[in-house]
Chains A and B, each alone.
Chain A
Amino acid sequence: MGYAVTTLSSADIELKPEADVTRVLRGKVPGVNINQTSGLAGSGTNIIIRGYTSISGSNQPLFVVDGVPFGSSTSPDRGALGGNATASSRFLDLDPNNVAEVSVLKGLSATVLYGEAGRNGVILITTKSGTHNNKNDKMSVFVEQGIFVNQIASLPQDQDFYGNGFDNAASGAFSNWGADVRKPGAQGTNLDADGTIAHPYDRAAITAFLPEYKGARYAYKAYDNLQGFYQKGLISNTSVGASARVDKTSINFTFSHRDEEGFVPLSKLKRNNLSLGTNTTLANGLTLTSTFNYVGIDKTAPPAGASTSSNPDGAGASSLFSNVLYVPRSVDLNGLAYELPNHTSIFYRGGNDIQHPLWTINNTKDLEDVNRFFGTIGARFSVTDWLSLNYRLGVDTYSQKNSYQINRGGPQVPDGLMVTSNRTNTIMDHNLNAQFNKSLTESFNLDAVVGVNLRTDNLDRTFTTSTNQFVYGLFAHNNFITHSNSSDKYDEKLLGAFATATLGYKSYLYLNLQGRNDWTSTLEKDNASVFYPSASVSFVPTEAFTGLTNNKVLDYLKLRVGYGTSAGYPDPYRTRSVLSTSTRNFVTGTGTVINTNSVSNFFGNINLKPEIHKELEFGIDAKLFKNLIGLEVSVYNKKSTDLLVNLPLDPSTGYNETAINAANINTNGIELGLTVNAIQKKDVNLSFNANFTTVDNIVEELVDGVDQISIFSIFTTLGSFAIAGQPYGVIQGTKAVRHENGQRLVSSQGLYASDNNLNLLGNPNENYTLNGGFNFSYKGFGLSALVTYQDGGAMFASLPSTLMGRGVLQETDFDRFVPVIAPGVKADGTPNDVQTSSINHYWQNGGVFIDEMRIYDASYWKLREVGVSYKLPSSLLEKTPFGSATITLSGQNLWFKALGFPPGANFDPEVSATGVGNARGFELMNTPTSKTYGGTLRFTF
């Protein structure tokens, strides 16, 4: 092999608490950045291999399961503000306990077999039922049962002495800058000598229905809010499988059931996986293989709209988490009643503008139902012992139904809402090829594949939005008063012809040449065809030079260099202009419905071309000191040109968007892997392993006339951008207004002002990631751990800055009567000497109002996994029907420390509020993370 591949076996993947197979790979594969969106059950995962090379398209890798492409997209119904961090990625449908092997192909030269969809890397998964290599005649069965506890990992440490209010007086404010609970009766604080205030529900709107609150008093003290709100959920994984061989046929079968409860009642996942694989050899040299898989998923999630300091920011958005984490210390989140008898939400605010989180739990949900079938049928015919013909058909079809339900009565969406969507996605993949493997002479060996590949993708979607709920509690579209619907479909075909040949000289020099020509249906005829070749050379000096074989230091050395190319195609229907049509734009006073036509604001680009990627890679694989040390190094440079961009246009061009080839990106990276097998004895084994990854992604240039392209926009003044000369995805946002001399300008009130403009704030890409772990075993007992360190990476985090700005975090336990002088200069340039209250300074001058104040360095340490296992000695099992019995205990995300954040925030930076996509480095108060621990019992028969 001339290219970089990392392979993990089932031992690294199975028996872990995660539902998502990619999350199990975290920390184990250099060059691959796997980032969960949140810790909620079934939430999506962002996978970036060797950096970002697409601005408007997808940077996610191709999944290939048992040799055929596997639909792996994440399809949220709402954008980042509405809350897409809970949307699931479709590789959640894979059962980690049914995975025999995962290979990650990182370089472009490895992807010519899979077409342009593999340009961001390929994750090759072989399922246990797809392995087809059951050689023994004996039938074997296994049963596994795992139980894990799932609890919230990222709870902040709050101070316990100041309560709800502002300017040191108790009141029903959003913030926690109120009275000191240790000084009841202090003047001007509204806190009585007995430590009580008027009950927040002692107001006409509530006492009209609940008279018991009239004149009631309320204890003003620190309540156990967060600990009482989050729960410990239970995860149960049951797996049964069997494999048998009868004559020339082998059958492999697995069934898994997963039941996962999250750390809030609304977070749940149920999954059933059924998998069957067969392999038959017929008399005339024909081998037939097949796999059939069915998955059913039932997922519930809470609404998770984004928020930057208070209620959810998106228009009409709803969120469970936006008002939980900064809830004032003296507000009894779990004790205060959450609804009136007519089901209206009530909470401590006089104007009732904060939705009670318990009302959200009882009145909203985001449901998802997925049914999926995927399978392959393959035939292999051995023409001679050196030539075989293969045909494989892959079918992957899923239907995903989502239903977002909100009852009326809550301040976030007062009239109620029901949004349902239905997606049906089908991929059919035909692959016909001839494989050739022959020794041409005594020294030369040729291995070649020539083939054709046809892939079709169909996506059908319908959406229905209903507002204005009629009868409370009934979620059917006919129970809503106003409706709007839409539907669309996307069809795409890709035809590829490919050839790959590896010429081997003796067993130490290999030359590999590959080429593929793709024809796509998404570009106009002149630009629809692209040819991309690759070449690589690998040389094994330890085999070549007799002087090197059998030496004490170097057991094995391989040097490799490869040059790979790939192309990228746009999404369907981007080349032609259309007519914008719309119905029901306006209804006149007499009830006439007005429908409209309009010149579309999308400027179709007939000349759209494919994007081109070229990569040069060097690598060294070495084993030293009798397999004591293993070392793998890869260094690469990737140039991506003519990148496809959905470019916003200045409206004075008459349009506001077009699709264009508009950018070049240059990527450099280094990947290192180290294994130290310290002890390798019969009963005792100890090995250490580490990997190191660094990626440098720079946007080289953009098309003339454009100086920045928005990759992801959160607000008009905040987002991720591609800017010539800057790293990909650099964050821009507002800064405090500066004096000419560069220092922050302080007003006569002692406050900063936001400049309301886009400034460069930070690079969200880390400098490097280091993972290290060990594996120890003694007879049947095993112990392992994996630690991750990420260096650098800027993050825009709303939660820690909101907790500071509102006076909740333990770091705000200071005497609030002491005034503060904000660092900076006055309008005349002299150092600021204007005092302002500490409350004004921490609230107004902090990140809530000025984006640059909530950019943190996201370097962190994390204890990713810990595992203990014990395999019962076979002597104990002789009289039982069991062949083997193993118990494994494992814990995940048990400890972490984010170095750039206030320690009390206990912040976990491994989240992505922008969901699966091209933006990173944003946290918007809607992505709590979890830690899990528990064990699995596994029996084989």
Chain B
Amino acid sequence: MKIFNKYLVISLLTITFTSCEFDLLDSPNEVGPANANIDFLLANSYLTFNDLMTGVSNNTMGVTRLVTMQANVYTADNGPQTWDGVWENAYANLIPDFDLVIVKAKESGITFPEGVAKVLKAYALTTMVDIFGDVPYTEAFLGTSNFGPKADKGADIYAVSDKLLDEARTILAGHQQEHWLMICIMVVLLQNG
């Protein structure tokens, strides 16, 4: 009797303990970052770029009297949260996608996407400097390694943009046809946005 039960207990314990290695850390609801595809990344970045520029335009049209301001006091029209969307679009949504496109383009040897991403990234960075003045760049995009990135001087970021544009010019020089196609897509998006 006792021996029978001892074996039963030991075998049950062994069964339960061997299932110690749970392999449930990868979400079944998403795929891993290695599956990123350049075309789909670019498609998203065009749409986000559109949202970013629309946001910038909407927030500045009142102040520049292209349209009437929504309220009769400046502070009511531009409160602390007015520019949240633009900030989030530029930093969390847009530029990380461009950086990944540049990395993937270099890996695959297809250079056109790299040129596109550099042009638009430069445009986004200069726009942010035009709106906010000094904004983070060198300390940014580091996740939890740096919770509060410090702002860089606007002039330094303009220099970064210039460098990106120079690199892009070299790359796109060999892609005249796609260059025009891309401009057409951009125009269509900006008109529809």
Contacts and interface: CB of A to CB of B under 8 A. Distances in A.
A491 B23 CA distance: 10
A756 B75 contact: yes
B43 A594 contact: yes
B148 A650 contact: yes
Interface residues of B, number: 62
Contacts of A578: 27, 30-33
B47 A585 contact: yes
B29 interface: yes
Contacts of B99: 599
Given A596-B44, A655-B92, A581 B147 contact: no
B35 interface: yes
Interface in A420-440: 430, 432, 434
A857 B135 CA distance: 43
Interface in B130-175: 135-136, 140-144, 146-149
B79 interface: yes
B33 A579 contact: yes
A597 B144 contact: no
B96 A596 contact: no
Contacts of B97: 598-599
A81 B177 CA distance: 50
Which 8 pairs from chain A and chain B are nearest by CB? A521-B22, A596-B44, A705-B147, A573-B27, A654-B141, A578-B30, A651-B92, A597-B40
A492 B29 CA distance: 14
Contacts of B23: 521
Contact of A654 (B20, B32, B142): B142
Interface in A711-768: 716-717, 756-757
29 contacts: A383-B5, A389-B5, A391-B12, A432-B12, A432-B13, A434-B9, A452-B13, A493-B22, A495-B19, A575-B25, A577-B33, A578-B27, A578-B30, A578-B32, A596-B47, A597-B37, A598-B45, A599-B36, A599-B97, A601-B92, A603-B144, A649-B92, A649-B144, A651-B93, A653-B149, A654-B142, A658-B143, A705-B148, A756-B79
A463 interface: no
B2 interface: yes
Interface of A: 381, 383, 389, 391, 430, 432, 434, 452, 454, 488-489, 491-493, 495, 519-522, 524, 528, 572-573, 575-582, 585-586, 588-589, 594-601, 603, 605, 649-656, 658, 660, 703-706, 716-717, 756-757
A581 B140 CA distance: 24
Given A454-B16, A599-B96, 4 more contacts: A521-B24, A522-B25, A585-B47, A597-B37
B122 interface: no
A706 B148 CA distance: 9
Contacts of B95: 654
Nearest to B151: A652
Interface stretch (B54-62, B81-89, B112-120): B81-89
Max chain A Cβ within 10 angstroms of own Cβ: one of B1, B75, B143? B143
B16 A495 contact: yes
B41 interface: yes
A713 to B, nearest CB: 11
B36 A579 contact: yes
B78 to A, nearest CB: 10
Interface centre among A389, A492, A586 (most CB of B within 10 A): A586
A454 B28 CA distance: 22
Contacts of A705: 147-148
B177 to A, nearest CB: 20
Nearest to B135: A652
A651 B36 contact: no
Contacts of B33: 577-579, 599-600
B30 A572 contact: no
B131 to A, nearest CB: 14
B47 A605 contact: no
Contacts of B26: 573, 576
Contacts of B40: 581, 595-597
Contacts of B37: 597
Contacts of A656: 88, 92
B96 A579 contact: no
Contacts of A703: 147
Contacts of A432: 9, 12-13, 16
B129 interface: no
Nearest to B34: A579
Contacts of A652: 87, 91, 135-136, 140-141, 149
B100 interface: yes
Contact of B92 (A391, A452, A654): A654
A483 B93 CA distance: 26
B71 to A, nearest CB: 11
Nearest to A754: B76
B31 A594 contact: no
Nearest to B76: A756
A572 B148 CA distance: 28
Nearest to B100: A599
A908 to B, nearest CB: 33
A506 B44 CA distance: 74
A842 B27 CA distance: 53
A489 B29 contact: yes
B109 interface: no
Nearest to B28: A489
Contacts of B148: 650, 705
Contacts of A598: 41, 44-45, 48, 93, 97
B94 to A, nearest CB: 9
A452 B93 CA distance: 46
Contacts of B92: 601, 649, 651, 653-656
A586 B22 CA distance: 39
B144 A658 contact: yes
Contacts of A577: 32-33
A704 B54 CA distance: 35
A757 to B, nearest CB: 6
Contact of A651 (B35, B79, B91): B91
- Among A493, A519, A578, A594: residue with most chain B CB under 10 A: A578
B123 to A, nearest CB: 18
Contacts of B13: 432, 452
A650 B48 CA distance: 18
A716 B136 CA distance: 23
A712 to B, nearest CB: 17
Given A452-B13, A650-B148, A576 B141 contact: no
Contacts of A524: 25
A520 to B, nearest CB: 8
A655 B32 CA distance: 16
B9 to A, nearest CB: 7
Contacts of A519: 20, 22
B44 A651 contact: no
A717 B81 contact: yes
A566 B123 CA distance: 52
B30 A581 contact: yes
B44 A597 contact: yes
Contacts of B24: 491-493, 521-522, 572
Contacts of B25: 521-522, 524, 573, 575-576
